[in-house]
Chains A and B, each alone.
Chain A
Amino acid sequence: MISYYLKLGLLSLKRNPMLSALMILAIGLGVGACMTVITVNYLMSADPIPHKSEQLFYVQLDSWDPHATRDERNLPPDQLTWTDATNLMAAGKAKRQSAMASSGAVVEPQGAEAKPFNASIRLAYTDFFPMFDVPFLYGSPWSAEDDRNERQVVVLSKAMNDKIFGGINSVGESLRIAGTLFTVVGVLDSWQPVPRFYDLTTGAFNTTEDLFMPLSLKMPLELDSSGNVNCWKEPEQPGFKGFLLSECVNFQMWVELDNEQAKADYLAFLDNYANAQKELGRFPRPLNNRLSDVMTWLEIEEVVADDARIMLWLSFMFLAVCLLNTIALLLAKFSAKAPEIGLRRAIGASRRDIFVQHLLEAGSIGILGGVLGLGLALLGLQGIGALYGEFAENLTSLDVPLVLLALALALLASILAGLYPTWRACQVNPSQQLKSQ
Chain B
Amino acid sequence: MRDLGPILRAMLRNKTGALLIAIQIAVTMTIIVNAVFIIQQRIELMARASGVDEANTFYLSSVGFADDFNAKTTVLEDLAALRSLPGVVDAIQTNAVPMSGSGWSMGLQTEPGEEFDGTGVAVYMIDDHGLNTLDLELVAGRNFTPQDILWREPAARNWPDIVIVTQAVAEALFPDTPVADVVGKTVYINDDESINIVGIVDKLQAPWVGWGAVERAMLSPERTLFNSAQYLIRTQPGQRDILMPQIEEMLASSNKGRIINNLNTIEDTRERSYRRHSAMITILITVMVTLTLVTAAGIVGLSSFTVNKRRKQIGTRRALGATRGDILRYFMLENLLISSVGITLGLILTIGLNMVLVNRFEMERLDWFYLPLGMAALWLLGQLAVLGPASRAAAIPPAVATRTV
Contacts and interface: CB of A to CB of B under 8 A. Distances in A.
Most central of A313, A322, A325, A384 by chain B CB within 10 Å: A325
Given A313-B356, A331-B17, A336-B309, 8 more contacts: A22-B301, A26-B294, A33-B287, A106-B63, A116-B259, A243-B155, A314-B31, A332-B301
Contact of B259 (A68, A118, A313): A118
A314 B35 contact: yes
Contacts of B190: 234
A122 to B, nearest CB: 18
B290 A29 contact: yes
Contact of B276 (A68, A116, A118, A305): A305
A329 B302 contact: yes
A318 B289 CA distance: 12
A332 B302 contact: yes
Given A239-B155, A387-B279, A388-B279, A324 B259 contact: no
Most central of A108, A307, A384 by chain B CB within 10 Å: A307
A266 interface: no
B92 interface: no
B30 interface: yes
A235 interface: yes
B155 A22 contact: no
Contacts of B298: 22, 26, 324-325, 328-329
Contacts of B23: 324
Interface of A: 18-19, 22, 25-26, 29, 33, 65, 67-68, 105-106, 108, 115-118, 178-179, 224, 233-235, 238-240, 242-243, 305-307, 309-311, 313-315, 317-318, 320-322, 324-325, 327-329, 331-333, 336, 383-384, 387-389, 391, 420, 424
B346 to A, nearest CB: 11
B72 interface: no
Contact of B17 (A309, A328, A389): A328
6 contacts: A18-B301, A68-B117, A238-B155, A320-B27, A336-B309, A383-B283
Nearest to B226: A224
B350 to A, nearest CB: 11
Contacts of B228: 224
B275 A240 contact: no
Contacts of A320: 27
> Top 7 nearest A-B pairs by Cβ distance?
A106-B65, A387-B279, A325-B298, A328-B20, A332-B305, A324-B24, A243-B155
A115 B290 contact: no
A332 B17 contact: yes
B63 A118 contact: yes
Contacts of A67: 114-115, 117
B157 A242 contact: yes
A331 B16 contact: yes
A332 B361 contact: no
Contact of B305 (A19, A305, A383): A19
User: What's the dominant secondary structure at chain A's contact region?
Assistant: helix
A179 B294 CA distance: 63
B276 A314 contact: no
Contacts of A224: 228
Interface string B275-304: 110111011101100110011011001100
Interface residues of B, number: 57
A68 B116 CA distance: 9
A379 to B, nearest CB: 11
B156 A238 contact: yes
Nearest to A329: B301
Given A67-B115, A305-B276, A317 B295 contact: no
Contacts of B40: none
Nearest to B38: A310
B21 interface: yes
A313 B294 contact: no
B115 A29 contact: no
Contacts of A178: 65
B172 interface: no
Given A314-B287, A318-B291, A325-B298, A238 B305 contact: no
B276 A325 contact: no
Contacts of A328: 17, 20-21, 24, 298, 302
Given A19-B305, A321-B28, A234 B294 contact: no
B400 to A, nearest CB: 17
Nearest to B116: A67
Contacts of B276: 305, 307, 388, 391
A336 B305 CA distance: 9
A235 B157 contact: yes
Contacts of B278: 387
Contacts of A321: 24, 27-28, 31, 291, 294-295
Given A22-B298, A332-B305, A106 B155 contact: no
Contacts of A313: 353, 356-357
Given A68-B117, A328-B302, A322 B294 contact: yes
Interface in B115-130: 115, 117
A318 B190 CA distance: 52
A342 to B, nearest CB: 14
Interface in B58-95: 63, 65-67
B261 interface: yes
Contacts of B17: 328, 331-332
B306 interface: yes
Nearest to B14: A335
B212 interface: no
B154 interface: yes
A179 B305 CA distance: 78
B231 to A, nearest CB: 16
Contacts of A332: 17, 301-302, 305-306
B31 A317 contact: yes
B160 to A, nearest CB: 15
A65 B287 CA distance: 47
Most central of B286, B298, B353 by chain A CB within 10 Å: B298
A277 to B, nearest CB: 19
A311 B157 contact: no
